[in-house]
Structure 1
Amino acid sequence: MQIALAPMEGLVDEILRDVLTDVGGIDWCVTEFIRISDRLLPPSSFRKLAPELDNGARTRAGTQLRVQLLGSDPSCLADNAAFACTLGAPAIDLNFGCPAKTVNKSRGGAVLLKEPELLHSILREVRKAVPAHVPVTAKMRLGFDSPEGALDCARALVDGGAEQLVVHARTKLQGYKPPAHWEWVARVQDVVNIPVFANGDIWSLDDWRRCREISGVEDIMLGRGLVCRPDLARQINAAKHGAEIEPMSWEDLQPLLADFWLQARRKISPRYAPGRLKQWLSMLTRTYPQAVALFAQLRRVDDCERLDALLGIADKASEFEAVV
């Protein structure tokens, strides 16, 4: 069984990847998508979203980072994929699952599921362009407005050269509305001969057990469920081996929040760093009642020093400021 951390645009950046993979249980993670249009991007465009490339394409915990590309031009995607490999990308992932309207309007993400032939062309060209030892993987949804074409899309991706396939078990139009249709993951796995990862609505151990039973697959990709419950991958790994571990308590979570905030202070403008903290904390309210109270305290606070105090890390922040 492999557990992957999903590439969620505007949420799982290098800071949150670093903190979540440090908790444990994650086998690999993926960048936010790098949009490819009509040109070869400079190194800075890759390093902006994948700074881990300068650290062997691994997070602090040693978790491998894959570089995800999004676009519709097979040749241009191939050129950029090959270039990403020269920068150290250990695997190339292709995004055919993003449901955002702005992305779909520019022929990126889930809208391409209307064109299985184009999916095949993209995979074929990217697979030919990157070194043979570099895996090419893909993420898809069940379709744009209906799952009826999901099997054709999966076949097209695999026939083009995809070595792993992540299936978010909803269509583009379904967005993130429950439920995830895990039974379709089973249907996809039945028609392809590569590992298929189930993705969508795995919020707890019970969800994972039901997903495994319905989908029939062992591999999973965790997104919002892991962001809201940072030790979910670790819990699933333990359960897979017949063990149980004590869930992460609110007290256990405090060092993670502090780590996240100090990294945000260092890497993000003071104007935007507070928003990143509030974004994650608001998601933690799903799991931790204490997060509700803390979020209420700091939701209107934009001063970094006041946030230091509310998080109880003023001394650490002062040390950080002195080092910087």
Structure 2
Amino acid sequence: MRIVLGPMEGVLDHLMREILTEMNDYDLCVTEFVRVVHQLLPKHVYYRLCPELQHGSRTRSGVPVNIQLLGQDPDWMAENAAFAAELGAHGIDLNFGCPAKTVNKSKGGAALLEFPELIYQVVKACREAVPEQIPVSAKIRLGLENPQDCFEIVDAIEQAGANELTVHARTKAGGYKASEIKWEYIQQIRQKTHLPLIANGEIWDAADAQRCIDVTGVESLMVCRGALNRPNLGNMIKHNHTPLSWSQIVELLLVYSRCEVNGDKSKYYPNRVKQWFSYLRQAYPQANALFREIRTLTTVEPIVERIQHHQSEL
């Protein structure tokens, strides 16, 4: 079994990757996306998003990190893919799955699912621009509204020469609704393509992971939101570990706080830690009371103080 820690815009930054890969046996990470429009982005953009580039494109615990690009212009996507590879990226991942309106209105992410020919051109241009030994992968949803569209999309990506494909088993219209998950389509895709597949969507615990494998026949899984709900989800799936206790979660919050405050993103800390709480609250009811204490706070010190006080009362 192979477990990939997926990208989550605005939440799963390099500091979160460090924490989660140190405590889980992940096989691969994918960064938040780099938005490519009509330019070759400067080096500092890549280093800010993926400081692991300066360490062999691996986290401190040795997990390889692929850089994700999002855009619709084949030439500029290819130039940026080649530059990321030159900077040392372990692999290049192309985002055709993001459902965010701000991204889709400029024809990025899942908006491209309507245009398999353009997806083909983007993937082909990037594959040709990147050295052969560096993998080029893609991430898709099943389509805009009709999941049957996935077969034409997958064929375009395979014909373009991609090395691997992650399939989020919902359409763009399905958003993140649990009722919209359609793992059975990944099983059908598997029968029609030679591309190595990674299954994604609604994997919250080890039981979900096993059901996904049983339905899809795919043993490579990507976890995203579940990895924030249950910070040791990777090892829950791989090694049947029990979920962390609430006291362990509080300690992890303090570790994360120290990393963020001492890192280059301290000004984002209040928003990011609150976003993490929005996930933790789904798995740990105890998080609700602590979240209410920090919800209106906007600076680092009082938030950390509340978490430390909470820990002292456990």
Query: If the length of structure 1 is used for normalisation, what is the TM-score?
Result: 0.91
Q: Which residue of 1 aligns with 2:93?
A: 93
3-state SS of 1:32 partner: strand
Distance 1:269 1:12, change over 3 A: closer
3-state SS of 2:289 partner: helix
Deviation digits for residues 281-304 of structure 1 (CA, Å, limit 9, x no counterpart):
221011112212211222122342
Q: Which residue of 2 aligns with 1:230?
A: 231
2:254 is the alignment partner of 1:276: no
CA RMSD across the alignment: 1.6
Task: List runs of 5+ in structure 1 lacking aligned partners.
Answer: 239-243, 315-324
Residues 123 and 160 in structure 2, CA contact (< 8 A), matched pair in contact too: yes
Aligned amino acid, residue 23 of structure 2:
V
Residues 141 and 171 in structure 1, CA contact (< 8 A), matched pair in contact too: yes
Residues 140 and 168 in structure 1, CA contact (< 8 A), matched pair in contact too: yes
Deviation digits for residues 35-83 of structure 1 (CA, Å, limit 9, x no counterpart):
1111111101111211211122111221111001111111111111111
Aligned amino acid, residue 303 of structure 2:
L
3-state SS of 2:152 partner: helix
Deviates more, 1:88-97 or 1:212-221: 212-221
3-state SS of 2:69 partner: strand
Q: Which residue of 2 aligns with 1:241?
A: none
Distance 1:53 1:269, change over 3 A: closer
The alpha carbon displacement at 1:271 in A equals 4.6
Residues 183 and 215 in structure 2, CA contact (< 8 A), matched pair in contact too: yes
Deviation digits for residues 112-139 of structure 1 (CA, Å, limit 9, x no counterpart):
1111111111111111111110000000
3-state SS of 1:201 partner: coil
Distance 1:144 1:24, change over 3 A: same
Deviates more, 1:224-233 or 1:263-272: 263-272
Q: Which residue of 2 aligns with 1:249?
A: 245
Superposition pairs for residues 136-147 of structure 1, below 5 Å?
136-147=136-147
The alpha carbon displacement at 1:252 in A equals 2.1
Aligned residues: 309
Q: Which residue of 2 aligns with 1:190?
A: 191
3-state SS of 1:221 partner: strand
Aligned amino acid, residue 229 of structure 2:
C
Aligned amino acid, residue 225 of structure 1:
G
3-state SS of 1:285 partner: helix
Whole-Å separation in 1 of the counterparts to 2:55 and 2:251: 23
Whole-Å separation in 1 of the counterparts to 2:63 and 2:6: 13
Residues 198 and 219 in structure 1, CA contact (< 8 A), matched pair in contact too: yes
Superposition pairs for residues 107-186 of structure 1, below 5 Å?
107-179=107-179, 180-186=181-187
Q: Which residue of 2 aligns with 1:19?
A: 19
Distance 1:54 1:313, change over 3 A: farther
Aligned partner (choices 303, 308, 313) of residue 304 of structure 2: 308
Residues 258 and 313 in structure 1, CA contact (< 8 A), matched pair in contact too: no
Residues 24 and 233 in structure 2, CA contact (< 8 A), matched pair in contact too: no
Deviation digits for residues 200-247 of structure 1 (CA, Å, limit 9, x no counterpart):
111112211211111121111001011110111101111xxxxx4332
Query: If the length of structure 2 is used for normalisation, what is the TM-score?
Result: 0.94
Whole-Å separation in 2 of the counterparts to 1:298 and 1:186: 44
Identity %: 44
3-state SS of 1:133 partner: coil
3-state SS of 1:137 partner: strand
3-state SS of 1:122 partner: helix
Whole-Å separation in 1 of the counterparts to 2:22 and 2:154: 32
